[in-house]
Chains A and B, each alone.
Chain A
Amino acid sequence: MSADLFILGVMACGGMLYAVLGGADFGGGVWELTAARRASVEERTLIRRAIGPVWEANHVWLIFVIVVLWSAFPPAFAGLTQALWVPLFLALAGIVFRGVAFAFRGHVAGHTRQEALWGRVFALASTAAPFFLGAAVGAVASGLEVDASGTFSGDILTGWLSPMAVFGAFFAVAVCAFLASAYLTREAAAAGDVALTDRWRRRALLTGALVGVLATGGIALVTVDAPEVWDGMRERAWPLIIVMVTSNLLSLWGLWRRRWNLAAVGAAGTVAAIMWGWALAQYPLLVPSQLTVDAAKAPDTVLTIMAWGVVAGLVLLVPALVLLFSLFKTQRSLEEAER
């Protein structure tokens, strides 16, 4: 495998993990903004406990993807930040306030006004971040006026707006809400809270179905608004549509039959298939419709050294991640936490 393919694969994995893990952290806030706004203390405690140990690590996947993008495909990074600066700045604002609001809220316990304030900020920012990141992804899929050298020539304020961008924004929020509710159902069940489990189960069923419907509509939109991606989808990414639909149905079935691990894995699989489907369908374009991987990639020497750097980094990273999730997210650790 050539170094640039390896690095693209790593980036797609990073993006997938950010969506599957970080997306669920955002989803907790989306729920606090909507249905769980007048949530009970137990409900918010569940969200806080679920997010607490892992959100910082999950957030790093975004930085990782950004850094690898600019190192391996510099003109793509330059072009994308130019074309997408409006949604990216807004997403950044969301990311900043989500992070600090979560940390702040956890440490002002007892100060009712402060707690309420940061709770609201957390909910709002957790929704804004995926909304604008989703818009950015949608904008990329539908194509941007970025040429082969990474120069953006479109309108600086509105050049990113497209039907796909609007769809991406809402779809991302729905996906986050789905992931969060599917995971939280499992965690509520492990904690032995029947009422809470039922509430999250209902929410997961609802948003799971919603994501399925939206995804189908999204594919229809792709045929119209993202022709290059649609070509790639027909050519090579179509099996992932099957994976996505199957995972989505498995997840719903798992929720229905109260098989929580299956439901969580199915939800994760749905989102993973979407991310990989997008990546595969768009290849070899980094920024449709002009900037290709070949045009944007850094010299081969750089890519080879980076690939080795990534391998060395993963040797340290993977065991650490396994440790983190086995301490806080396995069935046993969730049950033990309750005792």
Chain B
Amino acid sequence: MPVTPLTMVAAVESGELLAARSQMAFTLGFHIIFACLGVGLPVVMLVAERMFLRTGDESWRQLARRWSRAFAVLFAVGAVSGTVVSFEMGLLWPGFMGTFGSVIGLPFTLEGFAFFLEAIFLGIYLYGWERLSPRAHWWSGMPIVVAGVASAWFVVTANAWMNHPQGFTLVDGRVVDVSPVRAMLNPATWSQTTHMIVAAYMVTGFLVAAVYAGAALRGGNSTYVRRAMALGIVMGAAFAPIQVVVGDWSARVVANSQPVKFAAMEGIVVTEAGAALRIGPFAIPGGASLLLHGDCHAVIPGLDAVPESERPPDAIVHAGFLVMVGIGFGLLFIALWSGWSWWRHRRLPEHRAYWWALVAAGPAAVLALEAGWVVTEVGRQPWIAQGVMRTIDAVTSAPGVSWVFVAVVGVYAVLATSTVVVLRILAKRPIEAEEKADVG
């Protein structure tokens, strides 16, 4: 697509574009939290239920039941916020969907089936406590775990495609020679989907741990609390080191297929040999070149490799990247702390400092998730599909997008608040009341 002065002017002046982008970012940024919990929570739920089946210990069963109720609430919010996003693809980006809908349709269709299986087995799992044998009930949760991972994988392949579009030819604004499979399995797919799924497990693990670390700080140190906390920590701690490796892999893929995004992430303005690694006010000479190419004199393209009209807002991208990586290493530290204590003492630390760290780690993990999301999306700007279509050419021509955005923010604020209120009511209910309330 040629860069005409007209599109540049439009890009600068279009408040509507900003409103549409803000709305997409906001609703997806909301949905992504619930989507991650939808991937991760079934695992902790099923581990707890498995432990009950193996040991016959009631407190494991209570954990599984309680989490299944929280999961029901979170899944509902995830399902409806995901519905909003699927409509918004067309409502906000008709230019993109009208042109490329067929190219990225396959993963979305398959995701539809995965989501179907999640919803079906969620119904069976939630309402099947009394109807299925304990073993059959446990198995009825397995498809939720598998389908959760599958739907995350399929959806993220579509996002990976936006970062590395392939599998089609564009002739006069229409796609021909479309290969949906090649589009789905683009070079960004494997690292990005892995990065996302591992992130989902980390976010879930640390959020669960944070909830029960909070309980421990308030003096609740029952078996129930300790077990719940341990499950969360094990999940978060197991994936934190993996994420460091996967994140590095992801960054290398970005450096290859989206050098400008990479430059924005690392804050590399000028193309140079021996690019420095910049962390806040510090700069390690040659560090970026060394990390990326194993050679501290290698050339890394900077933002100046492309005209200004093709650069993302680099300050946001760089900040997002630092936040994500910084928190990632913080979480790794907590994982090591937990692992060390387990190795030396066969138990998790019981200091208040450790619990405070966990309480912070939950929201921090969510923040890292959002920051990573900002990096990949803002870092791709001004393109909606890297190098193929600009965001300005995809956006709806409908007026009043800003007003809709304001309304959407209002609605989601209500949604978020009430979700928290309901979850708190759930958490405060005495555990014995759980069984009776499950029917109906």
Which residue of the partner chain, among B122, B131, B425, contacts A56 with CB atoms under 8 Å?
Answer: B122
Closest to B92 in A: A81
The minimal Cβ–Cβ distance linking A177 to chain B, given in whole angstroms, is 22
Q: Is A100 an interface residue (CB 8 A)?
A: yes
B426 adjacent to A107 (CB under 8 Å): yes
Interface residues of A in 109-126 (CB under 8 A from B): 109-111, 114
Complex-state Cα separation, A305 to B117, whole angstroms: 21
* A42 → chain B closest CB, angstroms: 11
Which of A82, A100, A327 touches B396 (beta carbons < 8 Å)? Answer: A82
| A292: min CB distance to chain B, Å | 15
Residues of B within 8 A of A70 (CB): 89-90, 97, 101, 105, 108
Stretch at the interface among B3-11, B176-184, B237-245, B272-280: B176-184
Provide the residues of chain A in CB contact with B185, threshold 8 Å.
none
Stretch from B74-82, B188-196, B354-362 forming part of the interface with A: B74-82
Is the Cβ of A59 less than 8 Å from the Cβ of B83? yes
Contact: B112 with A313, CB < 8 Å? yes
Shortest Cβ gap from A125 to chain B (Å): 10
- Max chain B C-beta neighbours (<10 A), residue from A71, A75, A93, A108: A71
A60 contacts B112, CB within 8 Å?
yes
- Are A298 and B79 in contact (CB-based, < 8 A)? no
User: Cβ of A301 and Cβ of B398 under 8 Å apart?
Assistant: no
B25 interface residue per 8 A CB criterion: no
Chain A residues whose CB sits within 8 angstroms of the CB of B175 once the complex forms: 299
Residues of A within 8 A of B82 (CB): 63
Q: Which of the 9-residue segments B214-222, B295-303, B310-318, B414-422 touches chain A?
A: B414-422
Q: Is the CB of B69 within 8 A of A107?
A: yes
Q: Is the CB of A53 within 8 A of B127?
A: yes
The digit string for A48-77, where 1 denotes a CB below 8 A from any CB of B, is: 110011111101101110111011101101
Taking a contact as CB atoms closer than 8 A, the residue among B77, B116, B181 that contacts A60 in the complex is B116
- Bound together, the chains give a CA A162 to CA B79 distance in angstroms of 31
A78 touches B126 (CB 8 A): no
Q: Indicate whether A324 reaches chain B with its CB closer than 8 angstroms.
A: yes
Report whether over half of chain A's contact residues are helix, strand or loop; otherwise say mixed.
helix
In the complex the two chains form, is B106's CB within 8 Å of A74's CB? Answer: no
| B354 CB → nearest A CB, Å | 31
Asked if B271 is at the interface (CB within 8 A of a chain A CB), the reply is: no
Contact A96–B411 (Cβ < 8 Å):
yes
Contact B84 A92 (CB under 8 A): yes
Q: Taking the nearest CB of chain A, how far is it from the CB of B197, in angstroms?
A: 20
Which of B69, B90, B120 is A81 in contact with, Cβ under 8 Å? B90
Q: Is the CB of A302 within 8 A of B178?
A: yes
Residues of B within 8 A of A59 (CB): 79, 83, 119
Asked if A320 and B143 make an inter-chain contact with CB atoms under 8 angstroms apart, the answer reads yes
In contact, A305 and B181 (Cβ under 8 angstroms): yes
- Chain A residues lying within 8 Å of B69, measured Cβ to Cβ, are 107
The contact string, 1 if C-beta is below 8 Å from chain A, for chain B 63-97, is: 00000010011011101111110110111001101
How many A-B residue pairs lie within 8 Å, measured between CB atoms? 223
Partner of A74, one of B99, B124, B411: B99
User: Among residues 179 to 200 in chain A, which have CB atoms less than 8 Å away from a CB atom of chain B?
Assistant: none
Q: Is the CB of A81 within 8 A of B86?
A: no
A206: interface (CB < 8 Å): no
Partner of B411, one of A48, A49, A77, A93: A93
Which chain A residues border B127 with CB–CB below 8 Å?
52-53, 328
Are the C-beta atoms of A64 and B76 separated by less than 8 Å? no
Residues of A near B176 (CB, < 8 A) are 299
- By a CB distance below 8 angstroms, the chain B residues around A99 are 76-77, 79-80
Kindly report which residue of chain B lies nearest to residue A58, judged by CB atoms. B119
Question: Closest Cβ of chain B: how far from A116's Cβ, in Å?
Answer: 14
The answer to whether A60 and B119 touch across the interface, beta carbons within 8 angstroms, is: yes
Q: Which of the residues A114, A320, A328 comes within 8 Å of B117, measured between beta carbons? A: A320
Cβ of A317: which chain B residues have Cβ within 8 Å of it? 113, 116-117, 120
A45 proximal to B (CB < 8 A): yes
Residues B124 and A324 in contact, CB atoms below 8 Å apart: yes
A81 touching B94 by the CB < 8 A rule?
yes
Tell me which residues across on chain A come within 8 A of B89, comparing CB atoms.
70
- Within 8 Å CB of B363, what residues of A? none
- Contact: B80 with A100, CB < 8 Å? yes
Name the one of B80, B109, B181, B425 contacting A67, with C-beta atoms under 8 angstroms.
B109
Q: Which B positions have Cβ atoms within 8 angstroms of A? A: 69, 72-73, 75-77, 79-84, 86-87, 89-91, 94-95, 97-106, 108-113, 115-117, 119-124, 126-128, 131-132, 143, 175-181, 396-400, 404, 411, 415, 418-419, 421-422, 425-426, 429, 433, 437, 440
Known pairs A70-B90, A81-B94, A301-B180 / 11 extra A-B pairs, C-beta < 8 Å: A60-B112, A67-B105, A70-B105, A74-B105, A78-B101, A79-B94, A93-B411, A107-B73, A316-B113, A324-B123, A324-B124
Across the A-B interface, the 6 shortest Cβ-Cβ residue pairs = A71-B105, A74-B101, A81-B90, A298-B102, A78-B98, A313-B113
